[in-house]
Structure 1
C-alpha cells in the first residue's frame, strides 16, 4: 500500500494527563475519524477549527470534562455520519442547524447539561438518523409532532423534564426497537397505543401515563418493559413476555393488579 503520510484517524483513549484539545487538530485536513473517549482530564471547549475537517465521518468526544455549548459549527461537516458527545459537561441548547447534516445516522448528546427544547427541525434527519440519544439532560417542553413519522433503532429521551402526549411515537407501522422515555412528565392514554413488531425495549417509568395495559402487549417479545410510577389501572395482561418482569416494572401505579402484582379484587 502506498504511504501518503496523511493522518486519517486520530484515537485518544484513557489518558490521565490534563489538557485541552488543540485548535491545531483542524489542520489535519484528511481526518475521517476523530475519537476521544474516556479522557477524564480533557477540559475546555471543542475548538471551532474542527469545522475545517470536511472529510470527517466519525466524531466522538465522550467521557471527558469538555464544556461549553454543543457546537453550531458541526453543521459544516456534511460527510459526518456519527456524532457522540455524551458524558461531558456541555451546556446550552441543541442547535437546530444539526438538521442540515444530510448523512447523519447516529447522534448522542446524552448525559450533559443541555437545556431548552428539542428543535422541530431535527425531524429533517429522518429517516437516515435512527439512533437519537438526548437523555439525562435538562430538556423541557414537548416532543415535536414532526417526529410522528420517524422510526428509530433507539430513541432515548430519559431523565429530562419533557411533557405532553407522545403517543405519536408509537404505532403498528413503526420499526423502532428501543424507546427510553422514563423520568419525564409525559401524559397520555396507554390503552390506545399500538406497537410495531420490532419494539422490544420500552421504559416509561416515572411519568404521568394513564389508562390500562392493552392485551396486544402480550404479542411483543419484550427484553425491557417498565411502566412503574405512573397512573395506570386495570389487570396486567397475562401471557407472552409480560410476567418475565418482576413487580418493580409495574408497581406504584394507580390500580394495576394481577401477576406479578397482587391479584385483582
Structure 2
C-alpha cells in the first residue's frame, strides 16, 4: 500500500494535538502500521493511500483539533462526537470541499460557528450540539443547498436564524433547542421545507405564532417548540400530518380552546401531546377517546380548562403519563381510568375533583399518584393497596374521611412521599405502617387521627421527615423513634394528649 505523505503528516499532527487519550484510541497510530489501518481511519478504495473518513466517537480524547486536518483533501466524513476537544473549530476545515458530514456533538469547542461552513458545498449533515458555541448562526449556512440534518442544540447561540436556512428544501431534521435564538418562524415554513420530518426549537426566545403552513410538510413527525414565547392559537389542521408522533408546545403563551385536539385523531401514530403551562381554556372534547392508541404522554397541566374528564380517556390503553395539574376540572375522576394498565404517572392535583373510583387499584404500573388539593370526599379506596409499584402517593388537602386503609400502609414500595395531610381522617395510625421501610417523607398532619403513636414507626428506617401535628394522638412518645437516625424533623405539635 502506497503512502501519501500529506495525509500521514496531517494525521500525525492530529495526534500531537491530543493531550489525553483515556481509552488508548490512538495506540495503533504508530510507524509500525500503515496509517490506513490506524483505529478510526478509513481510506479510499479507488485511491488506497488517501484518507476519506475519521471516526473516533466516544474515545475520551482531550485536546485541540489540529488545523492540519484541512490537508486531508479527500475527506468526506469526520466524527468526533462525545470527546473533549476544546479551542476553536479550525478555519482550515473550510478547504475540504468533499466533506459531507461533520459530527462534533458533545465537545468543548469555543468560539462561533465559523462562516467558512458555507464553503463546504457537499455538506449534508452538520452536528454541533453541546459544543459551547456562541454568537449568531452565520448567514453563509444558507449556501449549503443539500443539507438534510442540522443539529445546533445546547449551545449559547443568539440572534435570529438566517432566513435562508428555512429555504433549504432538502432539510429533514432541524434542531435548535436550548439556545437564545429569537424572532419568528416563517409563516411559510411548511412550504419551503416540504421534506421536514423533525422540527425542534425548544427552549429559546422565539415569538410570533405557530405557522399554519406546518401542515404542508406532509412528512413531519415531531413538532417540538416548548419553552418559548409563541402566542396566538394552535393550528387546527395538524390532522393532515398522518405520521405525526409528537407535538410539544409546553410553556408558551398560547390562548385557545382545546378544539385543536379533535383533528389530531387523524394522526394515528401520535405518541406525545405536551401542551402544559399555556392559557388553554374550554373543556376536554369527547374526541379524546379517538386519539391514537399509541399515545403514551398527555400533559395539559397549568391551563384554564374546565369541565370533567371524558370517560373515553379509558381508550388510551398505552398512556404512561397523564398530567392535568392546576386546571379547573371538576366532577368525579372517571372509573374508566382504571383501564389504563400502563399508566405510571397520574397527576391531577389542584383541581376540583370530587370522587375517586375504586378502579384506581387496577393501575398496577402506577409509580406516582398525585390528587392533592381537590375536593375529593369519602373514604380512601383500599384498592390502592394493589398498586405495588407506587413510589409517591399524594392525597393532601381534600375531604377524605374514615380511617386510613391498612392496605395503603402495607405498600412497601412507597419510598419518597406519602402525604395524607389536611383531610378529615379518623382512627389510629395502622400498625402496617411498619411496612414503609423505605419511606423518606410522611405527612398525616391536620386530620382527626387518634390513639397512640405506634412503636412500629421505628421500623421505617429511611424516614427523614415525619409530620403528625394537629391530630388527637395520645400517650407517650415512643422511645423507639430515637432509632430513626436519619430523622431530620419530627413534628407532634398540637396533639394535646401526647406526653414525653
Aligned to 1:185, the other structure's residue is in SS state coil
Say whether 1:204 aligns with 2:295.
no
8 A contact 2:99–2:122 mirrored in 1: yes
Say whether 1:132 aligns with 2:237.
no
Matches within 5 A, 1:15-164: 15-40=107-132, 42-99=133-190, 100-125=192-217, 127-151=218-242, 152-164=244-256
* Cα offset, 1:253, TM superposition: 0.8
Would the alpha carbon gap of residues 123 and 172 (structure 1) be closer, same or farther in structure 2, given more than 3 Å must change? closer
Q: Name the CA distance, whole Å, in 2 between partners of 1:129 and 1:91.
A: 23
Aligned to 2:213, the other structure's residue is in SS state helix
Aligned to 1:209, the other structure's residue is in SS state strand
Gaps of 5+ in 1: none
* Cα offset, 1:263, TM superposition: 4.2
What is the alpha-carbon root mean square deviation over aligned residues?
2.2
Larger Rg: 2
Residue by residue, what CA displacement relative to the aligned partner does 1:195-221 show, whole Å, maximum 9, x if unpaired? 232222100000111111112212212
* Cα offset, 1:191, TM superposition: 4.8
Aligned to 2:104, the other structure's residue is in SS state strand
Residue by residue, what CA displacement relative to the aligned partner does 1:100-159 show, whole Å, maximum 9, x if unpaired? 11111100111101111112222221x311100110001111112233544520000000
Say whether 1:252 aligns with 2:345.
no
Would the alpha carbon gap of residues 172 and 51 (structure 1) be closer, same or farther in structure 2, given more than 3 Å must change? closer
- Higher relative contact order, structure no. (Cα contacts within 8 Å, ≥ 6 residues apart): 1
Residue by residue, what CA displacement relative to the aligned partner does 1:221-250 show, whole Å, maximum 9, x if unpaired? 211111111111111122112794566x01
Q: Name the CA distance, whole Å, in 2 between partners of 1:254 and 1:80.
A: 46
Say whether 1:174 aligns with 2:267.
yes
Gaps of 5+ in 2: 1-44, 47-51, 53-73, 76-97, 358-368, 379-398, 400-500
- Out of 278, 283, 287, the position equivalent to 1:184 is 278
* Cα offset, 1:95, TM superposition: 1.7
Q: Name the CA distance, whole Å, in 2 between partners of 1:191 and 1:145.
A: 14
Would the alpha carbon gap of residues 122 and 219 (structure 1) be closer, same or farther in structure 2, given more than 3 Å must change? closer
Q: How many residues align?
A: 262
Would the alpha carbon gap of residues 35 and 26 (structure 1) be closer, same or farther in structure 2, given more than 3 Å must change? same
Q: Name the CA distance, whole Å, in 1 between partners of 2:106 and 2:345.
A: 38
TM (norm. structure 2) is: 0.49
